[in-house]
Structure 1
Amino acid sequence: MSKIKSYISAFRLRTLPLALSSILMGNFIAAYHLSYKWQVGILAIITTVLLQVLSNVANDYGDAVSGADNEERVGPERMVSSGKISTAAMKRTVIVFSILSFISGITLISFGNFEAMSFKAWALFLLGLGAIAAAIKYTVGKNPYGYKGMGDIFVFLFFGLTGGLGTYFLHTGTVDIWLLLPASAVGLLSAGVLNLNNLRDVENDAKTGKNTLVVKYGSEWGKKYHHFLLITALLFMVLYGAFQFHTYWQWLFLPTYILVVKNLRTVRKNEEPQLLDPELKKLALATFFMVLLSGVALLF
């Protein structure tokens, strides 16, 4: 594998649709409310992509250093643990993407619908710094929160509430309280993808001291938790459609529920954790298409 291919593999581009889901939700609803700013829309997507790649390379680096990545790990090959990218080179990559994320985030905030030096701008600036720190600290450092069972909370916050509400806020300078429902739905589904990852890796995580919620409470608990996350997300989307009903086209996203229900059935019946690996991609794409169909329905 060439160096370029190794870095592309480390970027884990397959994770981008899930990362972009809440951003697209915020963009679609802002456009529906006639408040869309194309600079914000484009920069929000660019910043999210940079943050997600930062999270992925930091995860590759952090898990290799901690020993969580080894020959027993299930899932895509990691570049540092496999020796295709050195620890020093990956650390430099983390720094580069931290700087790029910071620059893109600052530029995004400058186009927000509020005064440049206002309280709103400073609040978003601090939130942006928090997003960069969260992307790195998931597996990097002395006390990574991903090793303490806190990854689910941060995924819900940044892949759901921050992405959806934050993007809408950048467009409008206001907060739509109803947006809490679809933003939370995306956050819960994103936490579901992480939970699938933790169910798949439970044995190796337990051996290497990565104390995810599944490691702490067991796989059977993890399956019940998975059902709670996904079913609650589906209910939130239905509630949003019911209370914000304008046209029957708003229900265009409902066919994606078939994919989510299939995922629930697979998880419930699963006895071999490694067989859950394909389900991560399926649930991530189901979330992405749910948002896409929901947004298209709002606009057309």
Structure 2
Amino acid sequence: MPILIMWGFLAYMGKHGTDVNWTNALLCLPLLVMAHAGGNMVSDYYDYTRKVDLKDSPNGVTWIYDGTFAAKTILRYGICLLVLALPIGLYLLAHSSWTALWIGVAGMALATLYPQMKAHALGDLNILVSFALLPAFGTAYVATNQYMPEALLTILPLGLLTVAILHANNTRDIDNDKRAGLATLSAAIGLECAKKVYVGELALPFVLTLVYTAMGGAPWTSLIVVAALPLALRNIRTLLGARHDKAHMGIATLDKDSAQLQMTFGVLCALGYLMGGWIG
């Protein structure tokens, strides 16, 4: 999703005089997919071996528990995907600038360190940087051969909604994570504070888009993201009703609902930038 928004952003910038290398921009998608899929598999392996995800957990690693894959196989697949992403990254560096190597190194480090960061209330920060800020910043750089801070402002709203997916998952799993000894942000601050954080993560993207557009940083067509507001309000109502005495806090599918909101917002955001380029 961050790559899709960056494509819209780059199309908009291209209409306003920025030279865009579309081969590099397009290659960022398979790079990100393999890197993130590999990182997720490595994370699943460690969640399984550390007994974070049990057989009856709503986010349990079912393909390990049902015997489809051995735990070590999941780990190997994850590592293979990370290795396969490497030549694409090297190609992009060779056809832009090697000075951007730090972006790739940071991304690989974050993917590797996620299990440890998640266990110390830093998983949300990891997701914000590795699933939003770095991909956007890197895509904009390899496509234009220049650092574009505005790319970070463009992707921040989606980044917050991406973090909200993890936050919904961790809020649902507060009791399970405490049992496993994990100090996720939700477990550390408790259910009531976790509710407030989630509301902020869903409200801020709309506020930031409005402010950024009003300041001239985005085309007025970006305001099309307001169409996703009903989904945000639905999710907020769901989480505000969460209680410890309900099965899975009463929010068993909120992470999936949060992902639906993130995808809808992302598509609308990308469309808004594309429309801004067409309309002028």
Structure 1 counterpart of 2:59, which letter? Answer: G
Residue 127, structure 1, aligned to residue 103, structure 2: yes
Tell me the SS of whatever aligns to 2:20: coil
Task: Kindly state the Cα deviation for residue 76 of structure 1 after the two structures are TM-superposed.
Answer: 6.0
* Contact kept in structure 2, 1:72 and 1:204, CA below 8 Å: no
Contact 1:101 1:132 in 2 (8 A): no
From the superposition, tell whether residues 232 and 248 of structure 1 become closer, same or farther in structure 2 (CA, over 3 Å): closer
CA RMSD of aligned residues (A): 2.1
Distance 1:247 1:95 in 2: 40
Q: Does 1:151 align with 2:127?
A: no
Q: Does 1:284 align with 2:268?
A: no
Distance 2:80 2:58 in 1: 28
Q: Does 2:50 match 1:78?
A: no
Unmatched segments (≥5 aa) in structure 1: 1-20, 115-120
Counting matched residue pairs gives 268
Distance 1:36 1:260, change over 3 A: farther
Segments of 5+ residues of structure 2 without an aligned counterpart are 244-249
Secondary structure of the structure 1 residue equivalent to 2:252: helix
Per the TM alignment, residue 185 of structure 1 is displaced from its structure 2 partner at its CA by 1.2
Q: Quick one: distance in 2 between partners of 1:162 and 1:24?
A: 14
Q: Which amino acid aligns with 2:56?
A: E
Check conservation: 2:4, 2:267, Cα contact below 8 A: no
Aligned counterpart for 2:3 among listed residues 23, 30, 40:
23
- Judged with a 3 Å threshold, the aligned counterparts in structure 2 of structure 1 residues 285 and 103 are, in CA distance, closer, same or farther, namely same
Please point out which of 189, 195, 200 is paired with 2:161: 189
Q: Deviations over 1:164-220 (max 9, x none)?
A: 222112222223333332221121111111101111211211111121011111111
Aligned to 2:29: 45
CA shift at 1:248, angstroms? Answer: 4.2
CA distance in structure 2 between the aligned counterparts of 1:76 and 1:36, rounded to whole angstroms? 42
> Following the alignment from structure 2 to structure 1, what is the Cα–Cα distance between the partners of residues 133 and 22?
21
Residue identity opposite 1:83 in structure 2: G
User: Who is 1:54 aligned against?
Assistant: 38
Alignment partners' CA distance in 1, 2:175 and 2:256: 18
Matched residue, 2:207: 235
Please report how far the alpha carbon of residue 129 of structure 1 lies from its aligned counterpart in structure 2 after TM superposition: 2.1
Give TM-score, length-normalised by structure 1.
0.82
The residue number in structure 2 matching 1:219 is 191
> Is the 8 Å Cα contact of residues 163 and 183 (structure 1) preserved in structure 2?
no
How far the C-alpha of 1:95 sits from its partner, in A, is 2.0
TM-score, normalised relative to structure 2: 0.87
Structure 1 stretch displaced more, 197-206 or 25-34: 25-34
1:63 — aligned with what?
47
Whether the aligned pair in 1 keeps the contact of 2:119 and 2:183 (CA below 8 Å) is yes
Could you say which residue in structure 2 is the equivalent of 1:297?
275
> Aligned residue for 2:74?
90
Which of 94, 100, 125 matches 1:110? 94
For 1:290 and 1:149, the matched residues in 2 are separated by 31
Structure 2 CA distance for partners of 1:246 and 1:109, relative to 1, 3 Å: closer
